[in-house]
Amino acid sequence: MSTITSTPQNAIPKLDVSPQQYEALKIACDAFVPSLQEQTQDAEFWAIAASDFKVADRVLEMIAIQTQGEQKEFLQLLDLLSSKLLGATWLGPFKNISQLSAEQKEKMFLKWSKSRLGPLRKAFNSLRKLSTFLVYSYIDEKGQNPTWKYYNYPGPLNPPPSQPDPIKPLTLTKATTLTCDVVIVGSGAGGGLAAGMFAEAGKEVILLEKGAYISESRMTQLEGEMIAKTYEKQGAIASVDGGVSVFAGSCLGGGTTVNWAGSFYTPPHILQEWSSKHDLPHLLTKSYQESSDAVMQAGNVNTDESYHNAQNQALWDGSQKLGQKVKVIPRNVNGCSKHNCKHCGYCGLGCQDAHKQGTLTTWIQRAYDKGAKILVNTTANKVHIQANVATGIEATYQAADGQQHQVYIKAKKVIIAASALHTPALLMRSGIKHTHLGRHLYFHPTVAVSAKYDHAMEPWLGTMMSSLNDGFSSLDGNYGFKLETPPTHPGMIALALPWTSGKQHKENMLQIDKLGSFIVLTRDKNGGRITVDKQGEAIVNYQLSLYDRMHMLRGLEEATRIHLAAGAKEILFPHFNFKTLLADSSQKQQKDFFEDMKYWSWKAGKFALFCAHQMGTCRMGGNAKKHPLTPEGQVRGIANLYVADGSAFPESSGVNPMISIMTMTHYTVKGIIAGM
């Protein structure tokens, strides 16, 4: 079993490695971001290496917070890199990584990226993603990165506002027992809303959040720092085979604090599908629609502050030129027009202006103002259950000095809103069994299609997503894909770009200010599964099915056509064989290219696949054998225990799920309050 190095209080723990393992990691990181001697005006940029930024140390910090299984795998990888048996993995000389030339290291990693062996592809991607992200999101003591000036990235637009925190969470100094009417685990779209509703109904509420409270005064707009503070496992979660990078909010307000503000009603045809297939007639009632309207009103959802930045304008223009319908995306914001939405590109790192109306600034604030108690940095370990009745939560609170204190919260009602990843794991740790618990994990698997334009795109500035092309969402029944745009900052761009050599990757990074991207968001029909390891931690099992992959490939094709119609000069695909398509290619060449694309290897780890929406795993429905939750949101067979997050979805929503989660939660909580 791996160990963590001992560190003084407030220091960041690292995975404990030997000198040989550390040296192997350092050399591997430098292979992905190497120092190159190029006689150009950008010579300083070319000379930068990962080791200049102590990337190996940062990698060890990130691995130290992963599951014990992931830590063990990483140590085995470092052992392999340190061994002469390394040569057997790529039919090269029997030398360890320190004995290989730069050319040999690149050749070895390229062979790993195309290997038939999944663990080698996973190892390649882990090292590639960590090395490139950490270099381009690095900041020095002045809050700067020496690479930014070479691709015109401005860094933070503003310092955080100097103002008092509007919420003051509880602090604990010893083991504590608390009592309340309702305890809620998780503060995102479901949990944050539930806290506000219960508190305003006069109930004593305690809200638990595993992450930290990051108020506007601590939102620095620094990509690496803010992702580390606000995302689950510092943004480094992946499926067990490494094929999907999973991004999930982990801070007060959860995903609503860092999401892209897209606010969609659950489509009527999806509600109809859920209702008929899962025996949920209430989804089609006036009361359910009233819950949806109430959620929209509370979030000030509107289209008046959805100005198009260059990426969104390209999606809009290209779609229209092809005769396709394109829509303005409603957003839960209030006040962005004051700066013409320029700051909005940084909102995925937390909204300094508090214009984004996530649960942090709405429902949680309302709960706090009504007397709700809030505990952050608090991990729920299990639900306390007696005679099939939930009576509270056992949790661990981590104080600012690193000390941990056990906390037991007695409650009349227990609401779990820990996400589709962690809600099933918490229920499993609590001894709850159901055949379908943890199953039916939906991701809206997402790929990005990037393109080089002649003019500045600056994908980090302006509204994150304001244009939507949903003309392909019903290719087969209710299944297909949508086209949107992502806000991208240097670290995330570096992580997503294909890598075939250090030189190729750096060449592409120098052009990212002229790079525009569309994302293909696929409504997945075939889901994955959450299991737990020996320590009870959630393990993500997900593989893209052939059915869903065919829709994704069609999405790649349509996104490419829209880029070209919008004036792009070269298309970059998310495949690690570094496939590109030039704008001056003939119609026949394009047709042949898209036909050939079906036969590229699409195994896990051979292309960049992402997920920012996690749904299912505790699905709601009327069949006791197939649905762990009743239509009222109650965990079957356990009184006073409810689920109020995206895990309750019977299937994927097909749209960005925040409003769907909040609507379902609002309706569920109305019923609980009425019963109390």
Mean pLDDT along residues 570-597 = 94
pLDDT at residue 8 tops 50: no
The full set of domains in the chain, from first to last, is: 19-136 (no CATH), 176-237+249-261+286-305+348-437+617-646+655-675 (3.50.50.60)
Give the closest residue to 249 by CA, choosing from 124, 119, 94, 358. 358
Q: What percent of the chain has pLDDT over 90?
A: 95
> What six digits make up the tokens of 397?
């609170």
DSSP structure string for 298-364: HTTEESTT----HHHHHHHHHHHHTT---EEPPEEBSSGGGGTTGGGGGGGG--TTS-B--TTTTHH
Cα–Cα distance for residue pair 133/228, rounded to 1 Å: 12
Instruction: Assess contact for 196 and 364: CB atoms under 8 A.
Output: yes
pLDDT at residue 656 tops 50: yes
* Alpha-carbon separation of residue 440 from 437, 525, 528 (angstroms): 8, 9, 6
Q: Which of left, alpha, beta for 52 (phi over 0: left; psi -120 to 50: alpha)?
A: alpha
pLDDT at residue 174 tops 60: yes
DSSP structure string for 11-38: SPP-B---HHHHHHHHHHHHHHS-----
Give the H or E element holding residue 228: helix 223-230
- Average pLDDT over the chain reads 96
Task: Identify the DSSP state of 4.
Answer: B
pLDDT tens sequence across 514-563: 999 999 999 999 999 999 999 999 999 999 999 999 999 999 999 999 99
So what's the pLDDT on residue 253? 98
Instruction: Assess contact for 97 and 27: CB atoms under 8 A.
Output: yes
pLDDT tens sequence across 66-75: 999 999 999 9
Cα–Cα distance for residue pair 532/422, rounded to 1 Å: 10
Distance from the Cα of residue 472 to its chain's centroid: 24
pLDDT at residue 3 tops 70: no
Which residue(s) pair with 183 in the sheet?
Answer: 206, 414
So what's the pLDDT on residue 6? 31
Instruction: Assess contact for 292 and 286: CB atoms under 8 A.
Output: no
pLDDT tens sequence across 601-646: 999 999 999 999 999 999 999 999 999 999 999 999 999 999 999 9
Mean pLDDT along residues 476-504 = 96
Instruction: Assess contact for 9 and 401: CB atoms under 8 A.
Output: yes
Give the closest residue to 313 by CA, choosing from 456, 209, 101. 456
Categorize the per-residue pLDDT at 338 as very low, low, confident or very high, splitting at 50, 70 and 90: confident
pLDDT at residue 11 tops 70: no
Name, in order, each residue with C-beta under 8 angstroms of 308's C-beta and a sequence gap of 6 or more.
316, 462, 463, 466, 467
Mean pLDDT along residues 640-659 = 98
> What six digits make up the tokens of 30?
């430098």
Cα–Cα distance for residue pair 356/360, rounded to 1 Å: 9
Mean pLDDT along residues 127-146 = 95
DSSP structure string for 575-628: BTT--EEETT--HHHHHHHHHHHTTS---TTSB-EEE---EESS-B-S-TTT-S
pLDDT tens sequence across 255-306: 999 999 999 999 999 999 999 999 999 999 999 999 999 999 999 999 999 9
Name, in order, each residue with C-beta under 8 angstroms of 403's C-beta and a sequence gap of 6 or more.
none
> What six digits make up the tokens of 608?
């960049």
Determine the 3-state secondary structure of 159 from DSSP. Answer: coil
Mean pLDDT along residues 152-170 = 96
Name, in order, each residue with C-beta under 8 angstroms of 457's C-beta and a sequence gap of 6 or more.
310, 311, 314, 513, 514, 515, 516
First to last CA, the chain: 47
Categorize the per-residue pLDDT at 393 as very low, low, confident or very high, splitting at 50, 70 and 90: very high
Categorize the per-residue pLDDT at 2 as very low, low, confident or very high, splitting at 50, 70 and 90: very low
Long-range contacts of the stretch 105-110 (C-beta < 8 A, 24+): 105/27, 105/28, 105/31, 106/31, 106/501, 106/502, 109/31, 109/32, 110/500, 110/501
So what's the pLDDT on residue 10? 44
> What six digits make up the tokens of 156?
């933070």
Give the closest residue to 110 by CA, choosing from 89, 96, 81, 95. 89
Taking the alpha carbons of 625, 629, 631, 632 in that order, is the dihedral positive or negative? Answer: positive
So what's the pLDDT on residue 401? 92
Mean pLDDT along residues 234-238 = 94
Instruction: Assess contact for 78 and 25: CB atoms under 8 A.
Output: yes
> What six digits make up the tokens of 23?
């040296």
DSSP E strand boundaries for 503-547: 515-522, 528-532, 538-541
pTM confidence score = 0.96
Instruction: List phi, psi (to 5°) of 333.
Output: -135, 165
Mean pLDDT along residues 106-125 = 96
Mean pLDDT along residues 646-668 = 98
